[in-house]
Amino acid sequence: MKKTLWTRNFTLVTFATILGSIGGIAGSFALSFLVFDETGSTLASALLLAIQVLPNVFIPLILAPVMDRLPRKPFLVGGDAVNGALYFLLGVYLLVLPFSYIEYLCFSLVLACLSSFDQLAYNSFYPRLIPDGFEEKGYTVSSMIYPVLNVVMMPVAALLLDAVGVPAILMGQGVLSLLAALTESRIRVEETVRRDEAGKLFSFKTWWRDLRGAARFLKKDDGLRSIYLYMMTTNGLGNGYSSILVAFFRSTPGFTVAMYSLFTVFEFAGRSLGGILHYRKPVPVKHRFTFAFWTYQIYEAMDMLLLWFPYPLMLLSRAACGFLGINSAVLREAAVQKYIPEEYRARLNAFFSVLISAGISAFGLLIGAMGELLDYRLCITLAAGLCSAVLWCTVWRHRKSVRAIYNRETEG
């Protein structure tokens, strides 16, 4: 029998992801306007975004040791079901009662906690659903879903916002999340319960020992630690670029916000082409590390030069970064998840999530402060230069260990 990526389980999880993404994009778009429309305050919107980052720091660390000892499917299904119910109730609330910023702030914190929980469950369960030998294709599919739907759903969400309003969109998001949970419940996979030496399922002592065990694993593994540290830096600084880019296009003569908006279009085009090509022809095993490393280096070099380019070259640079970015992201995700032992997966994914959140918070503030003192072009150049330096000091310095992760043979 010919092996295929599109098994029953993979098809179900992909369909569930599509349902959840459609609702999430439309709901996030509606909520982004709700707070400003109701309060008229950009500070109120910024505070909301800041609060939503907090759960990504502590929720994964609290729950990951438990998730590594119990079946993960119930976490994923239950998280989506509760998420759907809460969004539906929020829609009903806004339909019948007046908006309250404080109540919405508290509710958003609950939703952010649930989202962090759900993302950890998904990242830890998803590798089990990809057939051996199809890791790269599987992660190519998952990496393409959100960007494609984001482009499709944004204009649809804008039309729905004017046509039916925020409450109806949130109720629709709730229904889609519940349908995603129902779809995930039909996944068939054997999972085991891991008890400690005393036969106990869970205790604080076990939780703490498990967390420390994962930390020791990461500390001793030069390859995995190097990948995590570089990703923390490049993601943190990369997210901080957006505020600098907005300021540059808003304040520099000859540039407009509309011109900046085309960055997304060109990056999406490059990402789509890269995803299609990677799905059809994955990178050969022996070349994966070399391809990934030089992709990272080219990406940082393009960022260093981005705002010094003429505008047409800026757009081509974004398309190239989209093309290279999805290829390197798929290689990394497939390699890392295949490399991580099953019994450590939730905890090591939790550490990665915490590092990314910390990087976004810390480097975002750093970029913002640099923008107050330096020329916007110089800010991006220096930040990308720092990313390149970290790349050489981590991934290249420990290239033997990192290569062992990337160039790992898979079954099938």
Q: Which residue has tokens 């993979």? A: 10
pLDDT of the residue at 46: 60
Nearest to 67 by CA among 120, 2, 14: 120
Q: Which long-range contacts (CB under 8 A, 24 or more apart) does 319-322 make?
A: 319/266, 319/267, 319/269, 319/270, 320/270, 321/267, 321/270, 322/266, 322/267, 322/268, 322/269, 322/270, 322/271, 322/272, 322/274
On the question of pLDDT at 81 being above 60, the answer is yes
- Distance, in Å, from the CA atom of 101 to the CA atom of 378, rounded to the nearest integer, reads 38
Q: What is the pLDDT of residues 354-390, one digit of tens each?
A: 999 888 888 888 888 888 888 999 999 999 999 999 9
pLDDT grade for 32, boundaries at 50, 70 and 90: confident
Give the DSSP letter string of 93-151: HHHHS---HHHHHHHHHHHHHHHHHHHHHHHHHGGGGSPTT-HHHHHHHHHHHHHHHHH
pLDDT of the residue at 337: 94
> What is the average pLDDT value for the chain, to the nearest integer?
89
| Angle ∠(337,152,278) on CA atoms, nearest 5 | 40
On the question of pLDDT at 410 being above 60, the answer is no
Q: Which domains does the chain have, with CATH numbers?
A: 8-184 (1.20.1250.20), 212-406 (1.20.1250.20)
On the question of pLDDT at 82 being above 90, the answer is yes
On the question of pLDDT at 199 being above 70, the answer is no
Q: What is the pTM of this model?
A: 0.86
Nearest to 48 by CA among 109, 98, 91, 94: 109
pLDDT of the residue at 411: 46
Which position has the higher pLDDT, 351 or 162?
A: 351
On the question of pLDDT at 16 being above 60, the answer is yes
